Structure 1
């Protein structure tokens, strides 16, 4: 099933009713708590921007999002509305309840200074990367290098090749597209708004995203 044929699901939640509204600049990050039952939306403001995202059980950060368990349970390498995001312990952390983009990557990983060098050359060694953002914001809530794990690349287009490899392709999103999740338990969300300049995942021009939240204040 291609992204063009995936069912798009709108949210009934209105931005003006959100209790959380934060703009995350290109290359910056966000960390926060989504309480059980709360809804959390990531908006691709200008289109074609990858939002690298990690989720953790707030009561036990060792119980964190697992791409392998999520892919195995749903039988798909891509995420969209209806996808259940599982932890390494097999617990349900969140459910994607709305998606106006159609497909999100959970296998491409996050950029790091080291992987940039391997992929793109020594001239990228000191470019900012998602791993550094994860560590900077994660430190605020006790997430360090040992707690970094598989991340979701919301809005990012990573097609699987016929030989089982991956390719980083131009995005499928557009201005105002969003993805929304419902927390099935108290969850920590950690986001790096990807600064990658060496492949087309951000359209060669990283741009801001917005995060919105709906729950009891």
Structure 2
């Protein structure tokens, strides 16, 4: 599949970033070191009341992890983004995000005034700050995806974070099927048992890509995906 790189930048660890990913473009995220984690939320940029619905995303595709072929459904049954490439085979849709209390208990409180860019940030506050740039607030939050992290569900229903899942250079690529407001946060996964506060950067590459055809891997991943693509295409007619 041919593509054209539009721009590329590095997002440092413990940072938040946002961009309206236009239909017809894709965002490739590359881990800049081991232990990377990228929390992500997604909204329809043209109508932010429509946003990622992770329960429907998992239920419709009969999955408990995200990988190549999977799509991210909105609460309107349309597709915000598709995962067109992935070197890990497993990204976590269950673990949620860190908050100030968790970070302080696990790593200790460390303010910007004391540590400057090394201060201890948390993903929840980062998401809220980024949402505010678009006139949104806490009501617009949703369950987030954690790219580069793996959480297994055990037979007793407990969840186990898998250490060392992501390696330097691991990648995942998201193709926008709608004009999608993407908000990313690079704080550590909330279930990460590492007691060291890590700041692992990622590289973000924006590309122009062709529209998905009838035999597209994401369209064919599950029967419900075909319906999602049809609803999305009808939205733009």
TM-score (norm 1): 0.83
Q: Shift of residue 111 of structure 1?
A: 0.7
* 2:172 is the alignment partner of 1:179: yes
Alpha-carbon RMSD: 2.5
* 2:204 is the alignment partner of 1:211: yes
Runs of 5+ consecutive residues of structure 1 not aligned to the other structure: 1-10
* 2:49 is the alignment partner of 1:56: no
Q: Shift of residue 88 of structure 1?
A: 1.5
118, 143, 151: which one pairs with 2:136? 143
Evaluate the alpha carbon distance shift between residue 179 and residue 86 of structure 1 in structure 2; reply closer, same or farther with a 3 A threshold. same
105, 125, 142: which one pairs with 1:132? 125
Following the alignment from structure 2 to structure 1, what is the Cα–Cα distance between the partners of residues 172 and 189? 21
Q: Shift of residue 205 of structure 1?
A: 2.6
TM-score (norm 2): 0.76
Structure number, greater radius of gyration: 2
Aligned length, in residue pairs: 201
* 2:88 is the alignment partner of 1:101: yes
3, 14, 18: which one pairs with 1:31? 18
Evaluate the alpha carbon distance shift between residue 197 and residue 83 of structure 1 in structure 2; reply closer, same or farther with a 3 A threshold. closer
Following the alignment from structure 2 to structure 1, what is the Cα–Cα distance between the partners of residues 107 and 22? 42
Evaluate the alpha carbon distance shift between residue 200 and residue 22 of structure 1 in structure 2; reply closer, same or farther with a 3 A threshold. farther
Tell whether the 8 Å contact from 2:102 to 2:190 is kept in structure 1 after alignment.
Answer: no
Q: Shift of residue 173 of structure 1?
A: 1.6
150, 156, 172: which one pairs with 2:149? 156
**Secondary structure of 2:50's aligned partner:** strand
Runs of 5+ consecutive residues of structure 2 not aligned to the other structure: 112-119, 210-237
